[in-house]
């Protein structure tokens, strides 16, 4: 039978191990400004020396007034000036520490955020198809913010408390009876053990809150991304109910977390009160017995207040550090994800003399139990246009994903100009290929920006010419904001045909050696499709082109047509030879011709 306590203890050991690993992983982000970090630490030490010096000088002031043999008008005045200087120094060095360390903290956040985004771009398409955008965005936000939180608390709370405790211990041990040091550190130790134990117990609720928070955010994000679908089916109430149900669970854990925090605060307050009372009892006894002076009583009291005011926040600091470490763990787990597709260390750039493409005995599956491509072989000669047709699920669009090396083949190889695409850098491979995808997704920016994305260094004249070839320039210049028109998130402000023409302009601007058209005109009306088909034919004349098509009328001029069914090539040839063969292609052609005739009949 499993022991739940043992399981939880084991999980905590693993968690602590991860925490130390993550803290070590954060050190490289601080190394860039190690000089600043050391200077900030120096300011911190000077501030604490000044802070501990204030009660000592205040004691001397009290003793000076009590000691009638001293010249009262001279000595207290000098001590008051020292007292004021120490107070000013404490504040000044604290502020200097903040100013010096600010660059370290925010640069670490910047570096980590950039590295995470870079890593996300390196991860495979499979990861991005399976991920939940809302949850990742919330985890990244919390994770990168956790770096600043940890650095903040370590430099501005934990280290100052430790330094001040050591300085106070030195003063108490050298000037007073051992009992004062024992009371001080016993109280601190009991306080810390109690705080850490209760906080560890509360972490389960915090983890559950984080999980539910990410889940709720994902649900809200997903419902907004699918805004039109929600409206089509009138499911606003359903989406709200789903979102609210998750938040209801979050609320329960949040209440449990807040209640247990109150228990923690009561316990902390009790420990501090007992410690201060015991300290003052022995100090008062010392004054009564003549072993201590009034100034000593004031000094001990000042030390206790000075220690326990920041110590009162230690529980909060510990909780926040633990929460930040939990949040940071999400980011470092993400960074630990190994990219499915990666370049070999010595991979050269793709060298193109010709732009021939060859699929040799390609075998591929997303999951082993469902094979997508079976022993597929064909060649696209330099400057040749090859079209692939077939029913949905035949594996047509998978060809484009494999050519871009979003996935690696499970068998066989894909060659460009006799170079296995797995042996060259991904960047050079993708630079040589342009694509017009079936589902065009645009950035939430201007039309100009989205077209220029194909080649950011292109001149305005080149961008406008590409738009003209894609038959979208006239439409752009008819808009109120012209080229500066913002297309909305994922291009939602544009119609499907308009987005596709932007994608065509973007691909034209890129000027690649190899072109892939994946249902490139599927969202266009017949008139625009014919005009763009002519443009695509002109562009394709100087490129090796792979066209994935549903409308057979758009590929009748292809040099070779490949017919696929369930991941296998069942026919290939020109449009005329395939019609003459009277096979699957001929049947598809006849069916589409009948559908076209029926839609062309007057209502």
Q: What is the pLDDT of residues 92-132, one digit of tens each?
A: 888 888 788 878 777 877 888 788 888 888 887 777 776 66
Assess whether pLDDT exceeds 80 at residue 492. no
When pLDDT is cut at 50, 70 and 90, the band that residue 157 belongs to is confident
When pLDDT is cut at 50, 70 and 90, the band that residue 345 belongs to is confident
pLDDT number for residue 525: 65
When pLDDT is cut at 50, 70 and 90, the band that residue 180 belongs to is confident
Instruction: Reduce the DSSP state of residue 603 to 3 states and report it.
Output: coil
Report the pLDDT averaged over residues 15-42. 72
pLDDT above 90 coverage of the chain, percent: 8
Report the pLDDT averaged over residues 522-528. 63
Assess whether pLDDT exceeds 80 at residue 516. yes
What DSSP assignment string belongs to 149-195? HHHHHIIIIIHHHHHHHHHHHHHHHHHS-HHHHHHHHHHHHHHHHHH
**Domain chopping of the chain, boundaries:** 19-335, 357-432+512-600, 443-503
Question: Which of the two residues, 58 and 399, has the higher pLDDT score?
Answer: 399
Assess whether pLDDT exceeds 50 at residue 330. yes
Residue 146 CB partners (closer than 8 Å, separation 6+): 323, 324, 325, 327, 328, 331
- The C-alpha atoms of residue 491 and residue 484 are separated, in whole angstroms, by 14
Report the pLDDT averaged over residues 294-307. 76
pLDDT digits (tens, 9 = 90+) for 351-368: 988 888 999 999 998 888
- The C-alpha atoms of residue 107 and residue 502 are separated, in whole angstroms, by 37
pLDDT above 70 coverage of the chain, percent: 86
* CATH number, span 357-432+512-600: 3.40.50.300
Question: Which of the two residues, 277 and 70, has the higher pLDDT score?
Answer: 277
CATH topology for 19-335? ABC transporter transmembrane region fold (1.20.1560)
Task: Take residue 457 and report the two structure tokens written for it.
Answer: 């260094």
DSSP conformational letter for 338: P
The reply to whether 19-335 and 357-432+512-600 are identical in fold is no
When pLDDT is cut at 50, 70 and 90, the band that residue 462 belongs to is very high
Assess whether pLDDT exceeds 80 at residue 238. yes
Reading across the β-sheet that carries 544-548, which strands appear in turn? 433-436, 514-518, 544-548, 385-390, 560-565, 568-573
Exposure b/e, 447-466, CB count within 10 A at least 16 = b: bbbbbbbbbeebeeebbbbb
**Residue 202, phi then psi, degrees to nearest 5:** -80, -15
Other CB atoms within 10 Å distance of the CB of residue 570: 14
| Cβ–Cβ < 8 Å for 465, 455 | no
Report the pLDDT averaged over residues 434-442. 82
Task: Take residue 183 and report the two structure tokens written for it.
Answer: 């009371």
CA distances from 7 to 2, 13, 196, 490 (A): 8, 10, 19, 45
Assess whether pLDDT exceeds 90 at residue 581. no
Question: Which of the two residues, 374 and 493, has the higher pLDDT score?
Answer: 374
């Amino acid at each position: 039978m499993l022991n739940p306590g043992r399981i939880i203890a084991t999980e905590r050991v693993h968690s602590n191990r991860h925490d130390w690993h993550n803290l070590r992983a954060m050190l490289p982000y601080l190394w860039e400004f190690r000089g600043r970090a050391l200077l900030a630490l120096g300011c911190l030490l000077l501030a604490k020396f000044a802070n501990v010096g204030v009660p000592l000088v205040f004691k001397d002031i009290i003793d000076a007034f009590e000691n009638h043999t001293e010249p009262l008008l001279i000595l207290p005045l000098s001590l008051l000036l020292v007292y004021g200087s120490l107070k000013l120094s404490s504040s000044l060095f604290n502020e200097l520490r903040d100013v010096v360390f600010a660059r370290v903290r925010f640069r670490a956040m910047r570096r980590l955020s950039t590295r995470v985004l870079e890593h996300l771009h390196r991860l495979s398409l499979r990861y991005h198809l399976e991920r939940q955008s809302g949850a990742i965005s919330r985890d990244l936000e919390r994770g990168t913010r956790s770096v600043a939180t940890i650095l903040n608390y370590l430099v501005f709370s934990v280290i100052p408390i430790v330094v001040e405790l050591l300085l106070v211990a030195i003063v108490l041990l050298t000037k007073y009876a051992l009992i004062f040091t024992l009371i001080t550190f016993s109280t601190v130790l009991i306080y810390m053990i109690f705080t850490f134990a209760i906080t560890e117990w509360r972490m389960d609720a915090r983890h559950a809150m984080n999980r539910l928070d990410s889940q709720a955010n994902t649900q809200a994000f997903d419902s907004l991304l699918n805004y039109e679908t929600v409206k089509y089916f009138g499911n606003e109430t359903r989406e709200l109910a789903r979102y609210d149900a998750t938040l209801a669970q979050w609320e329960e854990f949040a209440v449990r977390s807040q209640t247990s925090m109150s228990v923690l605060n009561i316990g902390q307050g009790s420990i501090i009160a007992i410690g201060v009372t015991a300290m003052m009892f022995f100090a008062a006894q010392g004054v009564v017995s003549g072993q201590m002076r009034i100034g000593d009583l004031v000094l001990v009291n000042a030390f206790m207040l000075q220690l326990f005011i920041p110590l009162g926040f230690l529980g909060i600091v510990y909780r926040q550090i633990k929460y930040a470490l939990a949040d940071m763990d999400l980011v470092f787990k993400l960074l630990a994800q190994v990219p499915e597709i990666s370049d070999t260390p010595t991979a050269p750039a793709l060298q193109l003399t010709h732009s021939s493409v060859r699929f040799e005995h390609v075998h591929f599956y997303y999951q082993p139990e469902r094979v997508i491509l079976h022993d597929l072989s064909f060649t696209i000669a330099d400057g040749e246009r090859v079209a692939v047709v077939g029913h949905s699920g035949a594996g047509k669009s998978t060809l484009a994903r494999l050519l871009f090396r979003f996935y690696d083949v499970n068998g066989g190889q894909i060659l460009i100009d006799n170079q296995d695409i797995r042996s060259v850098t991904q960047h050079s491979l993708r630079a040589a290929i342009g694509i017009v995808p079936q589902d065009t997704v645009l950035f939430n920016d201007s039309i100009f920006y989205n077209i220029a994305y194909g080649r950011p260094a292109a001149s305005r004249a080149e961008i406008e010419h590409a738009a003209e070839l894609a038959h979208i320039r006239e439409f752009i210049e008819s808009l109120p904001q012209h080229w500066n028109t913002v297309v909305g998130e994922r291009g939602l402000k544009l119609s499907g045909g308009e987005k596709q023409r932007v994608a065509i302009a973007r691909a034209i601007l890129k000027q690649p050696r190899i072109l892939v058209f994946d249902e490139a005109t599927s969202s266009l009306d017949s008139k625009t499709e014919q005009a763009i088909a002519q443009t695509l034919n002109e562009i394709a004349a100087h490129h090796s082109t792979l066209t994935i098509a549903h409308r057979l009328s758009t590929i009748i001029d292809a040099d070779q047509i490949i017919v696929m069914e369930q991941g296998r090539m069942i026919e290939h040839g020109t449009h005329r030879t395939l019609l003459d063969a009277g096979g699957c292609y001929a049947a598809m052609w006849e069916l589409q011709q009948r559908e076209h005739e029926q839609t062309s009949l007057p209502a």
